[in-house]
Structure 1
Amino acid sequence: MLYNRTIVKGEYSSVFSCLSAIYKLEGFEGFFKGNGANVIRILPCTAVQFASYEQFKRIFCENEYESKAYFSLLAGVFAGVTSATLTYPLDLIRTRLSVQRQSGQTYKGIIHCGRTIIAEEGGVLSTALFRGLAPTLLGISPYVALNFSVYESLKNLFQSYYCVAGSDALPVPIRLLCGAAAGAVAQTVAYPLDLVRRRMQVRGIFCDLPFEYKGTLNAVLTIAREEGLAGLYRGLVPNYYKVVPSISVSYIVYEFCLKHLF
């Protein structure tokens, strides 16, 4: 199977070869498989993440002007866990939809995918819709924490350099740069657990995969043993292409909304 060859054996030599193979196999629409579920997921996930971060930061900070790095880290941990837990089933469905052609499975849409997972992999009260949640929470905590902390630290650094008060006073390119750096740092640190999360999510539809993980730690150790340490970072570069601009723009939009809507 394509996913088997790609993830386990790493036959794609570059991002371009991967895009080319997807286009030949599934056409242009293959680039957007699971994007509907992703859009539906990202809206509440981002909203909850930013809102809960601000709330937790107010709880941990003695006053709104005392925005120290460790407060941002702690608030980011709680915000990441909150948003990931509430929206995880949609994350699982998005992953399944994006690889369904390679697995031979056919989902008719988001609702059908969810119902199929419940019917074939466990009842409503089972953990089927939350497979891979543990590595997600372990990965999202440092990811979101570092994301917010690095962004605010860099923003404060540039504010002191420009001698300005308020994030909106900084030039947009500078804020985009802060967001890009924050996204890159956070993604690099949390990526191995993100890789484990995706592998565990597709386990239910790829029954012939040569890996069976007993848990998060076992998965990390197995990948490192079978594929080397580089295996834990397979696909990191194309993830940069997605995450870095996405995080940059999201901070700009968030701060704009925070200023004009509240």
Structure 2
Amino acid sequence: MAQSKKKAANFEIIIKNLLAGGVAGICSKTVVAPLDRVKILLQAQHTHYKHLGVFSGLREVVRRENFLALYKGNFVQMIRTIPYAATQFTAFEQYKKHLGGLFGQGSHLDGFLAGAAGGVTAAGITYPLDTIRARLAFQVTSNTLYSGIRHAAVTMFKEEGGLRALYRGFWSNMLGMIPYAGFSFYTFDKLKYLCMKSAPHYFCSEHKTNTGGLILNVPAKLLCGGAAGAVAHTFSYPLDVTKRRMQLAMMNPTTHKYALGMWYTIKMIYIEDGIVKGLYRGMSVNFLRAVPFVAVGFATYEVMKQMLDLDTGIRL
């Protein structure tokens, strides 16, 4: 009887984490959707946009297409984001729970590995939708290859080698996800603890969890999340650029070479454009989107956990 109650309680916690993560993903992706589209256009050096910067790119998308074009591909992004974010946050909580103390009490490695494993789990499940979303976001109104999600998926499957086409750039994404997700969750957790320990009167709300733990206020959650995003993206960005080049390789005959493999693509990007204008191309827009994206994501997730009576506090 006690065992069945424990299983039911664990199942309820997982469902609540999934819900909190899904809502967090929707909010964070919607906030940065216009910057996401410009980032993709800059990363893959679209003919009409490769000479532009962040703000001029945003203006040019509106001028060349329309305001709603800033959200092109966002519908499929929402379809992907709900299971992705829900799985990532929930998997992180489960991995952290099972890894707790494995490398010694208070080990930094536990948090990093739990975050990395959560990101890899979520990315592996939803990767085809990420590829389709990138294709839809990359095309412009005057030169449309795909009419929608289903048409893009079917066309790629039929004309580009089946399921392999939907997973092109997968290993680059997986390798990039380890430092990205690992440093995101690790940095957020450490900054959260530091804020609570060093200045709880500034960073913590007056309310406490049902176990007596302190709770960060919303500005502190946004601050910790933004810092976590900046750190994580700095380490993982070149692999994100590589992934995008591979995902979009077959859309133009001149870029087919990027479909030949991850290491070949990295080498070609470096040879042709170098580090700053190649492997870190679009990094400025990425920082502009990464900080609010991760900040809103973590802040919403923490707020949702409080609303669902999941203990997010720390007892010092």
Q: SS in structure 1 opposite 2:121?
A: helix
Contact 1:33 1:98 in 2 (8 A): yes
Q: How does 1:12-91 map to 2 (within 5 A)?
A: 12-62=51-101, 68-91=107-130
Higher-Rg structure is 2
Change (3 A) 1:177 1:229: same
Q: Give structure 1 regions of 4+ aligned residues with deviation exceeding 3 angstroms.
A: 3-6, 8-11, 102-105, 163-168, 210-214
Distance 2:101 2:46 in 1: 48
Contact 1:191 1:236 in 2 (8 A): yes
Between the two structures, name the one with larger relative contact order (CA 8 Å, sep ≥ 6): 2
Contact 1:84 1:137 in 2 (8 A): yes
Two-structure CA RMSD over aligned residues (Å): 2.6
**Corresponding pairs, count:** 257
Unpaired segments ≥5 residues, structure 1 = none
2:217 to 161, 171, 175: 171
1:228 to 274, 277, 285: 274
Distance 2:225 2:177 in 1: 17
1:252 to 268, 287, 299: 299
The residue identity in structure 2 corresponding to 1:96 is R
1:7 to 37, 45, 51: 45
Match of 2:20 in 1: none
Contact 1:73 1:146 in 2 (8 A): yes
Unpaired segments ≥5 residues, structure 2 = 1-40, 311-316
The residue identity in structure 1 corresponding to 2:169 is G
- Describe the superposition over 1:132-159 as per-residue Cα deviations: whole angstroms up to 9, x where unpaired: 1110001111100000001111111111
TM-score, scaled relative to structure 2: 0.74
Contact 1:45 1:87 in 2 (8 A): yes
1:241 to 282, 288, 299: 288
Match of 2:170 in 1: 133
Match of 2:246 in 1: 200
TM-score, scaled relative to structure 1: 0.89
- Describe the superposition over 1:172-216 as per-residue Cα deviations: whole angstroms up to 9, x where unpaired: 212211100000110111010000111100112112237435322
Identity of aligned residues (%): 37
Change (3 A) 1:36 1:157: same
TM superposition shift of 1:7: 1.4
Distance 2:79 2:51 in 1: 30
